[in-house]
Amino acid sequence: MTINSEESIEGLVLKNKPYKENDMLVWIYTKTYGKMALIARGVKKMKSKNAPACQTISLGEYLFVPRKGLSTLIKGSVIDYFVHIKEDIELEAYASYFIEYVYKYVLDNDPDEECYNNLLLALKYLNSGYDPRLVYLLFNAYILKATGCALEVEQCSVCGDSSHIAGISIGSGGFVCKECLGMYDRHLSIEVLKGFRYINKCSLENIDLLKLDDDVIDQLIEIMNAYIDEFTGLVFQSRKFILQLSNF
């Protein structure tokens, strides 16, 4: 990071933590610098003007003094508070999942425009009334790709045959044909197979193209959770809350 007097940048608040008596550490995710930490001085005081922009699940504009390590926040202003997410405990659980991925598993000071755009899109979709389950599926498909674990949805993941696809294999990483379908693989309906392919081919920005029935969505969530567990090694505390609220 270049050290200069002041700089203004847009970012999403991932986490905050009390620091000393009146200060707070704030982790934000930015398109330019990636994940970074700021010291927000005095934001725990009642009259602090910067406090709203330091709340988690918020998009803000941040004026700060760049430093090696922790940078100092001068001024923060809210661009989007995502109020509908914060009014709905289920939406907040989904938002926490997306943010947990970036906070825990994305490297500090490593800019990734695609990751930033996907996180911002996911929060905007939740806030504007999209089915949170669809957003969750597409974000998980992105996580698999971002971690080098993209699934095979064009041909059998065992033999490479593109005809007679009958199910999916968790261990093999995608489609399996009827000849390769093993004892522990999942035989799936055409509707679920199509949905599985769509979510792994479709980007978040094309969410409007997805038209899936509720039972298909619920099956796909179980499947994608299994792939996240099998291939990425990532552990999400927020997923437990999602499962409790959604009764999957």
Rounded to the nearest integer, the mean pLDDT of the chain is: 95
| pTM assigned to the model | 0.94
For 233, list phi and psi in degrees, rounded to 5: 75, 5
- pLDDT tens, position by position, 116-159: 999 999 999 999 999 999 999 999 999 999 999 999 999 999 99
pLDDT at position 3 is 53
Residue holding tokens 């679920």? Answer: 192
- Three-state DSSP at 104 gives helix
Hey, what are 135's tokens?
Answer: 């957003």
Other CB atoms within a 10 A radius of the CB of residue 246 amount to 15
Closest CA relative to residue 55, chosen from 36, 32, 30, 80: 80
pLDDT at position 246 is 76
CA distances from 24 to 5, 19, 38, 73, 103 (A): 21, 5, 8, 10, 17
- pLDDT tens, position by position, 61-72: 999 988 877 899
Residue holding tokens 């986490």? Answer: 15
Closest CA relative to residue 142, chosen from 125, 129, 167: 125
Strands 71-80 and 59-65, how do they pair?
A: antiparallel
Domains of the chain from N-terminus onward: 7-81 (2.40.50.140), 84-246 (1.20.1440.120)
Helices (H), the chain: 83-86, 89-105, 113-127, 132-146, 190-201, 214-227, 237-246
